[in-house]
Amino acid sequence: MTVQSLTLVQPDDWHLHLRDGSVLSRTVQDSARQFGRAIIMPNLTPPVTTTAMAREYKARLDAQNTSLQALMTLYLTDHTSAEDIRQAHASGIVLAAKLYPAGATTNSAAGVTAMEKVYEAIATMEAIGMPLLLHGEITHDNVDIFDREKGFIDTQLIPLLDRFPGLRLVFEHITTQQAAEFVQQAGANVGATITPQHLMYNRNHLLVGGIKPHLYCLPVLKRNIHQQALQDAVASGNPRFFLGTDSAPHALGAKQSACGCAGCYSSPAAIELYAQTFEELGILDKLEAFASFNGANFYGLPYNKKTITLVREDWQIPHSLDYAGDIIIPLAAGETLRWKQKV
């Protein structure tokens, strides 16, 4: 008999962009509908580089008065000191630090230009057990965009873990077979987030029959063997893979442009998109651990006390949504989903 309803311990989103200002009324609510907690990415303009900025940003998120618990992150720069890390950790509100290689993605210009620049900060993180969250792509002009994650593993990540073997590390939004294999063979201190779009799509979806700007994100969608490897990774039930939507809103005009921004806005239907994908893969029984347990275990946090229920009911993801007076196109806009969260 087909399952008609699915009750899960409330899931968390371990990689989320909420932005700032008037759009928070949309973004925070869309996430709060389903997720208990979220790791909030710090790539604002200007980036969240100090504990004071993280505290102020969290206050603006909390002012939305939703049940979403914002777990803050610090944006690493070439100038982040050991003391900055200790202060962030001691604050109790900053859980992790995020490393963007300079130039890798949206608002990463102030990111790290060479790993050595942050050795002192990372040594401190290793010592105090603060997780390092990695955007794992190299950025050299001469490296093909489809090879940037693999290049990062070979030239940055392996040496980094050799130097700091006890570092707790999350390889964010992994997109390749090499990244999935790297995490599988790594120790318990290494985890990875996987987005809905990298499970659902490959680069043909992005490029065949016309370019689809709303499927453009970074790291960019890869060929189908990599999509398959990510599906296999979640199917394996390995507890070091967990849910991170990388929901990254950009207004319509910024996406449908001669130079379109990277990022998919998945929050309006994230848990349903994962549920549908897991069901299609025949691994619906693996959804709860991936969405609600694995990340909490990695971060050493308790499971959420509430539950959410998804029911088998067709509904259509809206073609567009209001974005503080502007328009935003959600991921899989206009598509019919078979699972709907009961409110």
Residues that bind Zn ion (CB under 5 A): 246
Task: Name the nearest CA neighbour of 139 among 149, 130, 131, 126.
Answer: 149
* Among Zn ion, ligand NCD, none, partner that 105 touches (CB below 5 to 8 angstroms by kind): ligand NCD
In the residue annotation, 246 being an active-site residue is answered as yes
Task: Name the nearest CA neighbour of 236 among 151, 294, 166, 160.
Answer: 294
Task: Name the nearest CA neighbour of 322 among 78, 116, 55, 22.
Answer: 22
Residue 135 interacts with ligand NCD (CB under 6 A): yes or no: yes
Catalytic residue among 12, 30, 246, 326: 246
Q: Which is nearer to Zn ion, 126 or 246 (CB)?
A: 246
CA 6, 30, 293, 150 torsion: positive or negative?
positive
**Contact string 281-320 vs ligand NCD (x = CB under 6 A):** ----------------------------------------
| Structure-block tokens of residue 37 | 């907690």
Among 34, 43, 49, 176, binds ligand NCD (CB under 6 A): 43
Inter-axis angle of helices 82-91 and 51-62, to 10 degrees? 30
- Bridge-based pairing of strands 336-341 and 307-316 is antiparallel
Among 246, 272, 289, 321, binds ligand NCD (CB under 6 A): 246
Residue 262 interacts with ligand NCD (CB under 6 A): yes or no: yes
Give the nearest distance from C-beta 233 to Zn ion in angstroms: 19
Segment holding 82, helix H or strand E: helix 82-91
| Structure-block tokens of residue 330 | 């959600």
Q: Which is nearer to Zn ion, 8 or 18 (CB)?
A: 18
Give the nearest distance from C-beta 105 to ligand NCD in angstroms: 3
Among 218, 221, 270, 275, binds ligand NCD (CB under 6 A): 218
Q: Map the footprint of ligand NCD across residues 91-130, applying CB under 6 A.
A: 105-106
Q: Which is nearer to Zn ion, 138 or 308 (CB)?
A: 138
Q: Which is nearer to Zn ion, 13 or 246 (CB)?
A: 246
Q: Which is nearer to ligand NCD, 194 or 308 (CB)?
A: 194
Q: What are phi and psi of 73, to 5 degrees?
A: -130, 155
Give the nearest distance from C-beta 329 to ligand NCD in angstroms: 14
Give the nearest distance from C-beta 75 to ligand NCD in angstroms: 11
| CB-based contact 329:252 (threshold 8 Å) | yes
Four-CA torsion 271, 193, 254, 324, nearest 10 degrees: 50
Q: What are phi and psi of 224, to 5 degrees?
A: -60, -30
Residue 187, number of CB atoms within 10 A of its CB: 11
Give the nearest distance from C-beta 152 to ligand NCD in angstroms: 13
* Among Zn ion, ligand NCD, none, partner that 324 touches (CB below 5 to 8 angstroms by kind): none
Biggest CA-to-CA distance, the chain: 58
Inter-axis angle of helices 224-235 and 177-185, to 10 degrees? 30
Give the nearest distance from C-beta 1 to Zn ion in angstroms: 39
Residues at the interface with ligand NCD (CB under 6 A): 17, 43, 105-106, 135, 217-218, 246, 248, 262-263
Q: Which residues are catalytic?
A: 246
